């Protein structure tokens, strides 16, 4: 495991890192929804998607970063996508492999420093959306978990309701705890076509997460996203 220097976040920053149990659990839905909800509360909020794979340069409007830009009321084009997502790769693979296919390698120290600069420069709420799940590789020795630990931000863990999501969620939580990361919240997001109900997912998960706040989000759940946004504002120093 690569060692990345861990620093305390700037006191003027209200920043969160949004991660997930895996791809397609709903990170972008939650991040974009929070951006809208926080703006509705009058907050100067910004969203970043520093690393993306599966990026089609001919169609920047189709990527996850585009959803964050649109949620902020910003134009979506190649330049605005690049501004919030500097590390972009074409192959829809883990970022280490997507970068390798292009003869590139993610400089994780540079990635971490870029995020720290964004945190220091922004005076209100900043959301950083990760890529894939907690343990997705960024290079040969570093995963998203080490990136999060180096930034030292409160973590929001997004989980789905598909069959198997409970095990994935508890495994992700164990990995976070092993690195000294305790999520500020776990968000259970109702998946399209899920075979497990939102209520059953919450009932099974609740006894295993201790005092970590649990939030449930249904499809197009603006009210649930507003509740989550208010919680973040109330608990942020």
27 catalytic residue (yes or no): no
Rounded to whole angstroms, the Cα distance separating 106 from 8 reads 23
Of the residues 14, 27, 46, 49, which is catalytic? 49
Give one DSSP letter per residue of 54-70, joined into a string.
S--TT-GGGSHHHHHHH
Output the furthest CA–CA distance in the chain (Å, rounded). Answer: 46
Query: Strands of 14-20's sheet, edge to edge?
Result: 46-48, 125-129, 14-20, 155-159, 185-189, 214-217
**CB–CB of 16/154 below 8 Å?**
yes
Rounded to whole angstroms, the Cα distance separating 237 from 232 reads 10
Catalytic (active-site) positions = 49
């Amino acid at each position: 495991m690569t060692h990345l220097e861990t620093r305390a976040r700037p006191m003027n920053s209200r920043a969160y890192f949004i991660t997930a149990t895996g791809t397609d659990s709903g990170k972008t839905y939650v991040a974009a929804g929070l951006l809208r909800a926080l703006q509705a509360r009058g907050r100067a909020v910004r969203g970043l998607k520093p690393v993306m794979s599966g990026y089609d340069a001919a169609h920047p409007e189709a990527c996850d970063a585009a959803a964050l830009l649109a949620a902020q009321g910003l134009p979506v084009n190649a330049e605005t996508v690049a501004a919030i997502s500097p590390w972009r790769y074409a192959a829809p693979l883990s970022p280490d492999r997507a970068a390798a296919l292009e003869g590139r390698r993610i400089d994780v120290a540079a990635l971490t420093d870029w995020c720290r600069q964004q945190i220091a420069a922004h005076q209100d709420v900043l959301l950083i959306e990760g890529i894939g799940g907690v343990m997705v590789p960024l290079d040969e020795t570093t995963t998203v978990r080490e990136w999060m630990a180096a930034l030292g931000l409160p973590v929001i863990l997004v989980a789905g309701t598909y069959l198997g999501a409970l095990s994935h969620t508890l495994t992700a939580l164990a990995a976070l705890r092993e690195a000294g990361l305790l999520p500020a919240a776990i968000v259970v997001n109702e998946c399209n076509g899920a075979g497990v109900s939102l209520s059953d997912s919450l009932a099974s998960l609740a006894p295993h997460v201790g005092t970590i706040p649990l939030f449930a989000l249904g499809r197009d759940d603006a009210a649930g996203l507003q509740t989550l946004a208010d919680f973040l504002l109330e608990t942020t120093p």
